[in-house]
């Protein structure tokens, strides 16, 4: 079991957001940007928090965090962000065995995400990831800092950019999270915003969940 008090968190905000047509981290949901919603959701669950982004980042006043880019400009997808997160953790938090990552586009992720992933990470080199009724959510994960060199070699050697391919190689442990029962039916807490229609649906769910 990973020690929760020693787990830094990183919000992955470096994607291109091609289906949305703009930077998803800046989209506003219920008056807050998706980035700031991710900050408010993850910050109580980790020891420290930073943001991985490959461009300018806008924070709410008083919510500024350390920001770092991918280690190269190859646009190697979420795994490039994970590699940067591992590098940031090993340089700035040398006592940490794992780092937790979340994307910006799933604003309702569980408040006990990191605690449950930490419980499943039964060793310093075990990856733990989330899944729900909607399937696996490989970017919601706890990553061993010791895998930095391995992941770096994987990407440099042309390894698949799919996060799940890398997870399968390391026999990552999946943690199942339940749906949320609401007056409108079951809701997956990992609801993902990829399109303008998804954002509109998220506004409706936000109203239901915060009643």
pLDDT in tens, 46-100: 999 999 998 888 787 777 899 999 998 776 789 999 999 999 999 999 999 999 9
pLDDT for 5 equals 55
Contact indicator for 42, 100 with CB cutoff of 8 Å: yes
CATH numbers and ranges of domains, the chain: 4-209 (3.90.550.10)
Q: Find the helix or strand (DSSP H, E) in which 92 lies.
A: helix 77-92
DSSP class of 168: H
Q: Note the pLDDT of residue 17.
A: 58
pLDDT (average), residues 184-203: 94
Burial tier of 132 (Cβ tally within 10 Å: 0-12, 13-18, 19+): buried
pLDDT tens across 133-155, in order? 989 999 999 999 999 999 999 99
Instruction: Give yes or no for residue 3 having a pLDDT over 60.
Output: no
| Mean pLDDT, the chain, whole residue set | 90
DSSP state of 24: G
Residue 40 has pLDDT above 60, yes or no: yes
């Amino acid at each position: 079991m990973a020690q929760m008090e020693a787990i830094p968190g990183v919000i992955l905000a470096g994607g291109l957001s091609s289906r949305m047509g703009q930077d998803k981290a800046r989209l506003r949901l219920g008056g807050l940007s998706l980035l700031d919603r991710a900050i408010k959701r993850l910050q109580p669950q980790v020891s420290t928090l930073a943001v991985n982004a490959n461009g300018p980042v806008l924070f709410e006043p008083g919510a500024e965090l350390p920001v770092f880019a991918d280690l190269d400009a190859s646009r190697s997808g979420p795994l490039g962000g994970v590699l940067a997160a591992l590098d940031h953790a090993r340089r700035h938090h040398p006592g940490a065995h794992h780092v937790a990552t979340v994307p910006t586009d799933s604003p309702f992720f569980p408040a006990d995400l990191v605690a449950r992933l930490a419980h499943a990470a039964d060793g310093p080199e075990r990856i733990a990831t989330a899944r729900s009724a909607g399937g696996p959510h490989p970017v919601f994960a706890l990553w061993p800092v010791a895998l930095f060199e391995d992941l770096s070699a994987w990407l440099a050697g042309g390894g698949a950019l799919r996060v799940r391919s890398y997870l399968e190689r390391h026999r990552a442990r999946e943690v199942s999270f339940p749906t949320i029962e609401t007056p409108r039916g079951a809701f997956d807490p990992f609801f993902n915003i990829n399109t303008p229609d998804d954002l509109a649906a998220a506004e409706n769910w936000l109203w239901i969940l915060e009643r």
